[in-house]
Structure 1
Amino acid sequence: MVSTLRRYVEHESPSDSPEAVAAFVELIASDFAALSPRIRQHKLNGYGPALQIDFPGPRRSPRVLLLGHTDTVYPLGTLETMPWRERAGKLCGPGAFDMKGGIVQALFAMKALQARGPLPCSITLLLVPDEEIGSPGSRALTKRLAPDCSAVLVLEPAAAPDGACKTARKGVARYTLRIYGQASHAGLDYERGASAIVEAARQIIDIHALSRPQRGLTVSPGLISGGTRPNVVADFSEIVLDVRFFTTAQAARADAALRSLRPHDPRCRLQLLGGMERGPFERSAATVRLYRLAAKVAEKLGFPLAEASVGGCSDGNFTSALGIPTLDGLGAVGDGAHSQHEFVVAREMPRRSALLAELITSVAEAKAK
């Protein structure tokens, strides 16, 4: 497993390099080809290919979707300053934790299932090339394949530091607030101007007050721009907002509040653009049942499996919103996603792979009852 992960990490695959992602997809496909599945690549305009690997099960058996991604946040050349390293039981390198370790664990889970004999159910592995940038090219494919599945098991990293699986994720909305003011000379005609930058500062205070972090709702002004020169009262400013929420009700309230914003200076005008990007992955009864099944499997394997709610999104948000039982965080155990200290705990990889294999079997058995 370690040598496979090293090969994967050393094939850099940033979202913005379709060629690099395509090369990594070919490497994964060649590894899975030894298991004789049906392999298909979906071309996506402007992105690398999505990889679909199908393992047929018994006739009329349920289908389980294993969901993950091949892209990383690290630009080409990162390996020069952040090379593969093995130290103190940690496997370090760009994308090791998020989420090439999860792909390796899925490969070995499928090897284990095939070694036992006939598969317990049909299994589809879908690896998309653009998850780190919001899945703009692949989300339609995910939404098309998922409804045919009885459960979705997401290969994203486990929650740090204890390896909990994820039973809820926040949704995300993105907005751009454009502010139009009136330009004037900052020295000769200051009072005639209506500063879009001053208005933006006032709006940011109002926007910040919408956050309820203790309830899981955050409204964060992440980018601001405006003005042309220091001696000109700015006639334009723009704020880009990141909104996170655990429920659709929170999203609706935040949306309504943002759309009700009014200018403090009546000479200014506001324009709000944007909206929902990913709905929340809510802790549904179906997800809880799937988690409890996984916890029983983990107990039989000799380790506890906790659950967690997290602020980041994944493609599991899409499948959960479709009402399909979805369990996330079934990938590698480690820490440091998107950072210089990203790592996977080596000793956890075999048992997380075993957890995945046994959970697939348990899902099939539960559906057969």
Structure 2
Amino acid sequence: MKKLLLLSALLCGHVAHAQKLTATERKIVASVQQNMPKNEKLLEQVVNINSGTLNVQGVREVGTVFQKEFEALGFKTEWVAMPASMQRAGHLVAQRKGTKGKRLFLIGHLDTVFELDMPAGKFTRLTDSTATGQGVNDMKGGNVVMLAALQALQAQGLLKNASITAYFTGDEERGGTGPEARADFIARARQAEIGLGFETATNLHTVATARRGASTWQLNTYGKAAHSSGIFRPDVGDGAIFEAARILNAFRETLSKEQFLTFNPGLLVGGSEVVYDAARARGQVVGKTNIIAPTATVSGDLRFLTEVQKETARTAMRAIVAQSLPQTRAEITFTDGIPGMAPTAGNQRLAALADQCSHDLGLGPVAAGDPGARGAGDISYVAQYLDCLDGLGVSGKGAHAAGETINLKEFPKLVERAALMIYRLTK
């Protein structure tokens, strides 16, 4: 009897939520469910194509698969080429122009971190609710969520007057250098009103209203080469390696407690002779234990939530670098990368829309996640120009590592939510 009462309560709750959907919205949900087997096959197809950023042919091959799917939905597609010297595949753009509702800019990327020489498996079902494969959640699954949502709307004739640009970059994981890499991306985004990113969802109940930015820094320290027996003497000094250690430890002591700010020295070389190749992230060094090192190089990253936080941190780091140990000197340079996506009122309104759609679908609440838990992403390049929401892709675990998974149980639910959001924004 108790089991019957519980089942009745659950069914009543589902019906109550379903009644919050209009007849058109219920048809959208039905279309999503009908198309899921086909779209899971599509996901398997693109996952089984290696598209590491530097595998230009593979990135283009994945893009061509999506290009055909978007053209079938009536989108006009084109490839935005990058300079040959950049050695990147370029970007796929699919566009429909209309006059109804908000102008949307939907963001995905075709590349993965898995290059041809890295271990990464094909699409493989592990259980009824889990599958693995290279880029299955970051972010080939997210690309399919976007496409599947639009397919459900097209099936009901709801894209006729919508203004939507779907933009798939080819080098999100290892961005090409120079302003050309994102110039077209930014220009097209500025013509829209709302940006929706389909990067990995933390889970069914979390979206991203903010993301940290990422930049790099390089520290060079110099000391006086001499016999090790004279180290710390006033005329010899402390050497380049101790100066690098002083600076790194001062960074840690001064800045490590600040919320959302992180800085990581990822490579350090020091000795009598140092050759550092920044492009290849490699260093060669020669040194002896009885020689005080005259030079050291450290390279690292700096992650931050806002531009103000980034600049404040850089000012503090420069001040620390300027306080040299005896007979040493140091210099630090900073290189901008992906900007931060600050949490704005407009972004929060989009999170509220996701929450409402989720409730109306009977899926439970949705809230903004911790920005510190997410890395940098393409959406941050345009977040200063329009309201943005990210984390609308598939859920899963282990992104950027062999064994990366997708939660197949949540996959259709996330497509339903995305379709409902796009419909309500464009109707």
TM beyond 0.5:
yes
Q: In structure 2, what is the Cα distance between the partners aligned to 1:249 and 1:330?
A: 27
- Tell me which of 241, 249, 256 is aligned to 2:300: 241
How far the C-alpha of 1:274 sits from its partner, in A, is: 1.3
Match for residue 172 of structure 1?
214
How far the C-alpha of 1:82 sits from its partner, in A, is: 2.4
Q: In structure 1, what is the Cα distance between the partners aligned to 2:54 and 2:415?
A: 29
Check the 8 A contact 1:151/1:325 in 2, yes or no. Answer: yes
Match for residue 187 of structure 2?
144
With 257-266 and 42-51 compared, the bigger mean Cα shift is at: 257-266
Q: In structure 2, what is the Cα distance between the partners aligned to 1:114 and 1:9?
A: 25
Check the 8 A contact 2:88/2:171 in 1, yes or no. Answer: yes
Question: Closer, same or farther in 2 for the Cα pair 1:51/1:154, shift >3 Å?
Answer: same
Is residue 107 of structure 2 the alignment partner of residue 67 of structure 1? yes
Q: In structure 1, what is the Cα distance between the partners aligned to 2:257 and 2:50?
A: 36
How far the C-alpha of 1:193 sits from its partner, in A, is: 6.1
Q: How does 1:13-24 map to 2 (within 5 A)?
A: 13-24=51-62
How far the C-alpha of 1:194 sits from its partner, in A, is: 4.6
Per-residue CA deviation, residues 125-150 of structure 1 (Å, 9 max, x unaligned), is 00001111245453222211111111
SS of corresponding position for 1:267: coil
Give % identity: 29
How far the C-alpha of 1:61 sits from its partner, in A, is: 4.9
Per-residue CA deviation, residues 164-222 of structure 1 (Å, 9 max, x unaligned), is 11111112221111112222243689953651111111111101123344622222222
Q: How does 1:182-201 map to 2 (within 5 A)?
A: 182-186=224-228, 192=236, 194-201=238-245
Match for residue 53 of structure 1?
94
Match for residue 287 of structure 1?
347
Q: Tell me which structure has the larger Cα radius of gyration.
A: 2
Per-residue CA deviation, residues 240-275 of structure 1 (Å, 9 max, x unaligned), is 132222233321210111111224323211111114
List alignment gaps of at least 5 residues for structure 1: none
With 127-136 and 87-96 compared, the bigger mean Cα shift is at: 127-136
- Tell me which of 152, 156, 170 is aligned to 1:129: 170
Check the 8 A contact 2:100/2:426 in 1, yes or no. Answer: no
Which amino acid letter does the alignment assign opposite residue 150 of structure 2?
M
Match for residue 31 of structure 2?
none
Per-residue CA deviation, residues 296-333 of structure 1 (Å, 9 max, x unaligned), is 111111112222023311111111123x1000000011
Match for residue 196 of structure 2?
153
Which amino acid letter does the alignment assign opposite residue 332 of structure 1?
V
Which amino acid letter does the alignment assign opposite residue 407 of structure 2?
V
Match for residue 13 of structure 2?
none
Q: How does 1:208-219 map to 2 (within 5 A)?
A: 208-213=252-257, 215-219=259-263
How far the C-alpha of 1:163 sits from its partner, in A, is: 4.6
Question: Closer, same or farther in 2 for the Cα pair 1:210/1:135, shift >3 Å?
Answer: farther
Which amino acid letter does the alignment assign opposite residue 157 of structure 1?
T
Question: Closer, same or farther in 2 for the Cα pair 1:209/1:199, shift >3 Å?
Answer: same
Compute the TM-score of the two structures, normalised by the length of structure 1: 0.92
Which amino acid letter does the alignment assign opposite residue 128 of structure 1?
T
SS of corresponding position for 1:321: coil
Match for residue 50 of structure 2?
12
SS of corresponding position for 1:296: helix
Which amino acid letter does the alignment assign opposite residue 50 of structure 1?
H
Match for residue 328 of structure 1?
390
How far the C-alpha of 1:60 sits from its partner, in A, is: 6.1
Q: In structure 2, what is the Cα distance between the partners aligned to 1:343 and 1:205?
A: 37
Match for residue 310 of structure 1?
371
Aligned residues: 361
Match for residue 112 of structure 1?
152
Which amino acid letter does the alignment assign opposite residue 384 of structure 2?
A
Compute the TM-score of the two structures, normalised by the length of structure 2: 0.80
Match for residue 96 of structure 1?
136
Which amino acid letter does the alignment assign opposite residue 164 of structure 1?
T
- Tell me which of 76, 87, 109 is aligned to 1:38: 76
Match for residue 382 of structure 2?
319
How far the C-alpha of 1:36 sits from its partner, in A, is: 2.6
Which amino acid letter does the alignment assign opposite residue 310 of structure 1?
P
Check the 8 A contact 2:51/2:112 in 1, yes or no. Answer: yes
Check the 8 A contact 2:195/2:388 in 1, yes or no. Answer: yes
SS of corresponding position for 1:62: strand
Which amino acid letter does the alignment assign opposite residue 358 of structure 1?
L
Check the 8 A contact 1:163/1:334 in 2, yes or no. Answer: no
Is residue 338 of structure 2 the alignment partner of residue 278 of structure 1? yes
